[in-house]
Each structure stands twice: as C-alpha cells, then as structure tokens.
Amino acid sequence: MELFLYTALFSPLVGSLFAALFSMSAKTKWAGIVPSILLGVSLTSSTILLFFVLGTNSTLHVEMMTWMETGGLYIPFGFVVDQVSVTMMMVVTLVSTVVHVYAIGYMDHDKGFNRFFAWLSAFVFSMMILVMSDNFAGLFIGWEGVGLCSWGLIGFWYQKESATWAANEAFIMNRIADLGMLIGIFLIYWNTGSLQYDIVFPAMATLDTTTLVWIGIFLFIGAMGKSAQFPLHTWLADAMEGPTPVSALIHAATMVTAGVYLVVRSNELYALIPNVGLFIASLGAFVAIFAATMALVNRDIKRVIAYSTLSQLGYMFAAAGLGAYWVALFHLMAHAFFKALLFLGAGNVMHAMDSELDPFKMGGLGKGMKWTMIMMTLASVALAGIFPLAGFFSKDLILEAAFVDHHLIIYGVLLLTAGLTAFYSFRIIALIFHGKDRHTALGFHPHEAYKFMLIAMSPLLLLAIISGFLFKGGFFEMVTTLLPATEYHIHDHLTYWIMTIGTQVFVIASIFYAYKKYMSPDIKVPDGTSAMEQSFKYKLLINQYYIPHFYAEYLVKPYRELSTIFWEKIDMKVVDATVDGIANAFYTTAEQTRGMQSGNLSTMLKWMVAGLIGLLSLAVVFGLAARHSDSIVIMLSGLGV
C-alpha cells in the first residue's frame, strides 16, 4: 500500500515537471495529455487506498524521511491515509482529473497552454501534501504551496492588469491569515513539544482552556483566509479573473475547502473549546446569507457561482462549529461535485459567447447548448438542495444539526439562505438558457463545447446526482471511525416531515419565482437607468455592501500614504542619507589620504616613522593607564564618580 500512497502523492508533481519542460516552448498537446494521465493514475491509487481503508478499517502511516531534527524538534516528511484524508484525496484527484481533461479543450487556443498545466498540476501536488501530511508543518507546506500556485493561476493572464491585481490580492490576504495560522502552530509546539497529529491531539486534553482557545482562534484565522470567510472574503470573487478551469478546481472543490479540512482535522481541539466552535458556526451562518445576498443581483455568472461557493463554505463552517464534523466533510464532498460542474458549465457558456459573462446579454442558449443546459440545471438543482440530488442530503443534515442542538437562529439563517440560493441559481439559468434570445442582436453566435469536454464533465454530473446516497452507503460509518459519531435526528416524525417538506416547498417556490421574474420577454440589458438599479438596496448589494470600498479608502489608502511618508522622510532622508554619508566619508577620506601612496621612498619612510611614533605613544599611554589603574579608581571613588 505504501507504493500506492507515493504514487497518489507524486504523480501530479511528475506531471507538473513534464509540462514545465515545455513552458517556454510552442504549445504541445502532450503538455496537457501527460499531466491528465498522471492525474488519472493518482486517482486510481487514491481509489485503491480508499478500498484499503474501507476493507481493513485501519490507516496507513508512512515516514518518508526526516525533514528537521534539532534539539527537541523532530519533523519528518510523514504522510497518513485515514478515513478523513482519503476522502479529501478522492475529492481532489477526481475533480482535478476532470478539470485537467476539460482544460485541454478550454485552453486549446491559449499560447500559455504548457505553462498552465505546469501550474495546475503543481497545485494538485501541493493540495495532496496538505491533506496527506501527518503533522502541522507538512500541512503548512502544502498550505503555502496551494497559495503560491493559486497566485500563478489567478494571474495566469498577467497581461491583464485586473488579473495581476486579483492574484496579488488573493496572495496578500492569505498571507495575512497565514500569519495567524503560523502563530497557532508555534503555540502547539510550545505547549505540546510536537507537531505530529497523533501526539498533539491527545496532549490537548492536558492543556488549560485559555491556551486551547488561543490555539483554536489562531488556527481558525488561517482557515478564514484560505476559505474566504468574512472579513477576509473579498479575494474570492475577484479571483474569477483566472481561467474557468482554475475556478472549478481551486475556488470550488479544493483550495477554498482547505480551511474546513483544517477545522475538521483539528476536531479534538475544537471539541474542548465549544465557545470557539459556536463562534465559528455563527460566523459561518452569517457568511452563508451574506454571500447569498450579493449573488442575488450580480451580473457576472462566474462571480455569482463564486458567491455561491462562499455561501456554501459558510454552511460547512456552521456544521463544523456545531461539532457536526462528519456532516461538514459530507457537504464538502457533495458540494465539490456540483459546484465544479457549475463552473465548467459556465466555462462552456463563456467559450460560446466569446468570453461574455453578463447573463442579461444571453437568453435562449438552451437551443444550441442542450447538454450544457442540462448539466448546469441539474447542478443548480443539487446546489438548491432538492431531493434526491446530493445537496439535499448534506444541507438537510446541516439544518438538522442546528435544529437538534437548539441553535434556532443559525437554523433560521441557513434556511433563509437555502431559499436565496435556489433563487440566484435559477436566476442565471433562466437568463442564460431560457427566455428571449438577446445574444443574436449583440452579434454572438454560440456553439456547444467539444464533445470530449462534455464527456469529461459527465462524472461530476453523475456524482452530483448520486453522491448524496453515499451517506446511506457507508460514508457515515467510515469517517466516524475518526470523527465524533453524533447522529442528528428529529425524533418527532411529524416535526421532521413538516420541516423537510416545508424546506422543499420554500426552495421550489424560490425557483419558480426566479423563472417567472427572469423569463419575461420584457427582460432587457440593464443600463443603470431602471428604478431597481437606482434603489439603495440594489446599490448596496452590487457594491458588496461597500466593503471593498471601505478597505480601499480606510485601509489601503492610508497604508499607502503612510508608506510614502516613511519612504520620503525616513528611508530617503534618514536611512539612505546615513548610508550614503558613511560611504561619502570613506570616499572623502580616501581622496585626502591617497597622496600618502605617492611611490616616493623618502615620503614613505617619513610616514612609516610617523606611524611608529604614534604606535609607541599609544603603547606608553595604555601601559601607564594599566599600571596606575588602582590609583585612578580610588581617585574617582573619592570624587564620587
């Protein structure tokens, strides 16, 4: 089994290095084909490891080599395949394989084709390091690796200023959060003497509550950045500047879920500090509805799906914060399939519409893009949480967890968010695929994606439909070997059916309202003059509650002005002036004394004699001082010095 572990881990790295060999060369399909095949190998190995874990109900723990050993610090390159990590491995490798195959067609005409696959496979390798590591140091290596690769992929089209700005924003905001995570890791080592999971978590029970609270808070700050939780959320929507396969892989199924994985992996810590868990759950519920409201009015289909991702991450954190760790992991898995499918479907629409993203400029695309319409519609049904698709099972469990634990405010917020999710999801479905044809008059001639791209998307479609039933097929039994096995059931059957049916009616009514509102033949491309666009509510939502404006005006701008002052007044006039002054002093002294090296023997002898006299004089002075030091001390003491 150890061989399969290494194969699953290092196959993406080999694919990345292969594509990197051609990064400066003309486009070659092999730079996409070989990494895709190697991702398939990684997926196969991960599947074999999954069956090993299921069949033996055990874990595979290997130590490849010692990474760091000094004093009491010992950190190996160690990896663990257990019930939690193998679930993440399957999600990462399956979605990555689909995205790699899809990207061969999507990036077909891009001159950076080879470079794209080098970055993409490197990202997958970093993500595998993150989820497979058996210690916090290894997790942090993968954590920073995915941050670096996401920077390269978000800013892939670096010729666009908006792309480089978005890449830098994501990178910097995550570095701010990662400082918090690093402090948390330092606190773990300081108090437990190790970073190994199997040593750290049992030792948590011996630590005082205050220390545990600080560790939990700092680790969660790192999770907030990676999973784009408020107030570190603004980078996620802006990251849509990258190619759509990047959005499908990084911002739907893998990197943004790393924060949820961290909390789930650290469940033994957060179980000891329930107040921090309640804060995480409350923040998750707030982010769920906060992001959903912004998706209601946005006119960029990728940003709508990005806000949806942000909202669903809120659901996951709500579950994890309430102690329903296996429910959070279940929703993470189910969400990965239908959200990646939505992003890839959006990529098909973009290709068909010459990169146009405004759904108001589309309409009637279902006639020429039947398969994309079917896939995106079913993915939206799963996202809305309608029975029997995947989202129904995972969302229903989160709502039950909140209700059973008597957190009724969190339950109410998440229930309202479910209705908003259904509305904005089918708002873009109605605007893109149904209603009046608005694209022909604008000069667009849409077409369906390559057949192999549609075929590549089909596993995601299948899993978006059936993955909810995995809960009944052994998922609960598998993951609760490591995670708390709390089951969330409303024991009053009448209450359960009223709540379940009521939720379904609410969600379906939201869908019908979206269709009624946005399939009207009177729909026109908004130009800023309508009463709705002039309303305060619309402006508040379309401007993201003015939070980016607040950051720009009251954080970034003052910081830039302060930096300018420090540069002009301190760096230039003090630091640089001091360094330049020292250099000038040496230069001037050298200019003044260079005459000593005239080459005249008589002059040189004079300077030698002068130097000898000077040295002898110093020797006499220091000798007398040493001889009479006691007398000098007595004299100074008498003077009161």
| CA nearest neighbour of 289 among 306, 260, 310 | 310
Helix (H, G, I), strand (E, B) or coil at 79: strand
- DSSP per-residue codes, 503-570: HHHHHHHHHHHHHHHHS-TT-----S-SHHHHSHHHHHHHTGGGHHHHHIIIIIHHHHHHHHHIIIII
User: Residue 69: helix, strand or coil by DSSP?
Assistant: strand
All residues at 6 or more sequence positions from 21 whose CB lies less than 8 Å from its CB, including other chains: none
pLDDT of residue 631: 61
For residue 144, the model assigns a pLDDT of: 93
Residue 143: pLDDT band with limits 50, 70, 90: very high
Q: CB-based contacts of 589: which residues, under 8 Å, 6+ apart?
A: none
Contact 321, 282 (CB under 8 A): yes
Note the pLDDT tens digit of each residue in 567-599. Answer: 888 888 888 888 988 988 888 887 777 766 777
Q: How far apart are CA 259 and CA 567, in angstroms?
A: 37
Q: Per the structure block, which two tokens stand in for 619? A: 């020797």
Q: Which residues, listed in sequence order, are joined to residue 76 by a DSSP beta bridge?
A: 66
Helix (H) or strand (E) run with residue 246 in it: helix 244-248
pLDDT of 217 reads 95
pLDDT score of 635:
55
Contacts of 431 (CB under 8 A, 6+ apart): 359, 360, 362, 363, 518, 523
pLDDT for residue 364: 85
Give the pLDDT confidence score for residue 109 in this predicted structure: 85
Whether the pLDDT of residue 640 is over 60: the answer is no
Given pLDDT bands bounded at 50, 70 and 90, which one contains residue 153? very high
CA-angle at 310, arms to 305 and 316, nearest 5°: 125
Give the bridge partners for 69, in sequence order.
74
Reported as a single tens digit per residue, the pLDDT across 438-451 is: 878 777 888 888 88
- Residues 411-421 have pLDDT tens digits of 999 999 999 99
- The stretches of 353-450 forming alpha helices (DSSP H) are 370-384, 390-404, 408-433
Is residue 104 predicted with pLDDT exceeding 60?
yes
Q: List, in sequence order, the alpha helices (H) in 296-359.
A: 301-321, 325-352
pLDDT at 57 over 80: yes
From the list 439, 421, 444, 433, the residue with the least C-alpha distance to 519 is: 433
Share of the chain above pLDDT 90, in %: 53
The 3-state DSSP class for residue 273 equals: coil
Residue 148: which pLDDT band, with cuts at 50, 70 and 90? very high
Residue 289: pLDDT over 70 = yes
Helix, strand, coil distribution of the chain in percent, nearest 5 = 75, 5, 20
In 15-34, which positions are buried (b, 16+ CB within 10 angstroms) versus exposed (e)?
Answer: bbebbbebeeeebeeebbbb
Mean pLDDT of 246-271: 88
Residues 598, 594: Cα–Cα separation, whole Å = 8
Is the separation of the CB atoms in 119 and 153 below 8 Å?
yes
For residue 372, the model assigns a pLDDT of 92
Phi, psi (rounded to 5 degrees) for 135: -150, 165
What is the mean pLDDT of the segment spanning 379-400? 91
Q: What is the mean pLDDT of residues 95-101?
A: 93
Give the range among 33-37, 51-55, 589-593 with minimum mean pLDDT. 589-593
Q: Give the residue carrying structure tokens 């940003």.
A: 303
pLDDT (0 to 100) of residue 261: 93
Say which residue, 638 or 482, is predicted with more confidence: 482
**Which among 344, 352, 350 is positioned nearest to 379, based on CA atoms?**
344
Reply yes or no on whether the pLDDT at 22 is more than 70: yes
Model confidence at 636: pLDDT above 60: no
Average pLDDT, the chain: 88
Residue 591's pLDDT is 79
Of residues 263 and 363, more confidently modeled: 263
In sequence order, which residues have a C-beta less than 8 Å from that of residue 179 and are 6 or more positions away?
Answer: none
* Residue 119 and residue 17 in contact, taking contact as beta carbons nearer than 8 Å: no
Quickly state the pLDDT bin for 315 (edges 50, 70, 90): very high
